């Protein structure tokens, strides 16, 4: 005969065993449910970034996003339309400017390795109405560059959206290996359009024709060259290599310093790029005076010595 105490101990042990077993199962199941994430990352109105995107992969990523949207929508979305509908992207790109990073005590040797889109960021997809509105804005936006003022303005109709300091071509002639001829370095005036964007430009010294990969900054630090789009213009029906592009040496802005191109700050170049899609009108003028907001006339130095009657 089994003792009563032994039977009671066995029952208690069994009760404890089953209690722990079921508690363990409930705890495990609860953890799985909490850890489970929704698989739906894309809707008709937004796209969630699923991994960090560096600048070197930024354009290919955007191309894939735009392509995927166009496959399911009945309108032609472009990179410029998409980014202008997500203006915070322009701010993020402009913030990668080397000198803005230095102001934050952050030295950047290779800008292409910087993360511009983080996992979890949400990108809004414009509907056809928003696209039509943006296209109307694009059609009324133009770039206005006044050479002796060293100024580039982004305008919409008669409204100035942005104005940026620039550098312009030097007042001299010089032999350039890339053109294999004596070249007038002055920035040419006229009216034209944006005809192309170079999203991952190669850097060459026009005078020697040699490619280079590093740049010495104004603070004497040496870094790799950044990946920022260059804007190709056609002025008076001629593509003469007169580009709008960033300079890694902003100390040269507000000067006649370049080989004819119009140079900007790195951060400003991103803004100009996204406000100047293909076919954007460009005006390059040589006005020696302007009237400021206070109604005062401001005169500029005749840097090219043109015979202009005031």
Domain that holds residue 288: 142-299
pLDDT of res. 46: 92
Mark out the alpha helices in the chain (DSSP H runs).
4-35, 55-72, 79-84, 88-94, 98-103, 128-140, 266-274
Whether 304 is in a domain gets the answer: no
Q: How many domains does the chain have?
A: 2
Whether 11 is in a domain gets the answer: no
Co-location of 150 and 260 in the same domain: yes
Co-location of 258 and 146 in the same domain: yes
Co-location of 50 and 113 in the same domain: yes
Co-location of 172 and 262 in the same domain: yes
pLDDT of res. 298: 96
pLDDT of res. 14: 41
Q: Which residues pair with 192 in a beta bridge?
A: 235, 282
Co-location of 122 and 146 in the same domain: no
Q: What is the pLDDT of residues 235-248, one digit of tens each?
A: 999 998 899 999 99
Co-location of 278 and 194 in the same domain: yes
pLDDT of res. 34: 33
Q: pLDDT > 90: what percent of the chain?
A: 79
Catalytic residue ranges? 245, 261
Q: What is the pLDDT of residues 274-285, one digit of tens each?
A: 999 999 999 999
Query: Cα separation of 296 and 300, whole Å?
Result: 13
Q: What is the mean pLDDT of the chain?
A: 88
Residue 27 pLDDT greater than 70, yes or no: no
Q: What is the pLDDT of residues 46-82, one digit of tens each?
A: 999 999 999 999 999 999 999 999 998 878 999 999 9
Whether 307 is in a domain gets the answer: no
Of residues 37 and 54, more confidently modeled: 54
Whether 22 is in a domain gets the answer: no
Q: Taking the model in full, what pTM does it have?
A: 0.85
């Amino acid at each position: 005969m089994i003792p009563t105490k032994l039977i009671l101990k066995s029952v208690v042990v069994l009760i404890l065993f089953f209690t722990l077993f079921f508690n363990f199962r409930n705890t495990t199941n609860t953890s799985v449910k909490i850890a489970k994430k929704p698989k739906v990352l894309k809707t008709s109105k937004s796209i969630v970034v699923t991994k960090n995107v560096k600048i070197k992969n930024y354009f290919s990523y955007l191309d894939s996003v735009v392509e995927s949207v166009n496959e399911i929508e009945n309108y032609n979305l472009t990179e410029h339309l998409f980014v202008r509908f997500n203006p915070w992207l322009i701010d993020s790109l402009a913030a990668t400017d080397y000198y803005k990073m230095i102001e934050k005590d952050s030295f950047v040797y290779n800008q292409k390795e910087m993360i511009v889109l983080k996992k979890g960021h949400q990108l809004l997809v414009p509907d056809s109405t928003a696209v039509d509105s943006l296209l109307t804005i694009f059609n009324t936006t133009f770039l206005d560059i006044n050479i002796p003022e060293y100024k580039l303005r982004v305008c919409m109709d008669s409204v100035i959206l942005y104005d940026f300091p620039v550098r312009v071509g030097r007042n001299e002639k010089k032999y350039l290996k890339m053109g294999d001829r004596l070249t007038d370095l002055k920035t040419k005036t006229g009216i034209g359009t944006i005809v192309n964007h170079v999203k991952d430009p190669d850097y060459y010294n026009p005078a020697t024709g040699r490619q280079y990969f590093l740049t010495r900054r104004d603070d004497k630090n040496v870094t790799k060259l950044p990946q920022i789009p260059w804007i190709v213009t056609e002025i008076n029906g001629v593509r003469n290599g007169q580009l709008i592009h960033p300079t890694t040496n902003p100390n040269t802005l507000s000067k006649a310093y370049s080989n004819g191109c119009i140079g900007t700050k790195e951060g400003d170049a991103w803004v100009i790029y996204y406000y100047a899609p293909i076919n954007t009108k460009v005006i390059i003028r040589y006005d020696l005076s302007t009237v400021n907001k206070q109604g005062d006339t401001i005169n500029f130095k005749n840097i090219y010595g043109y015979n202009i009657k005031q």
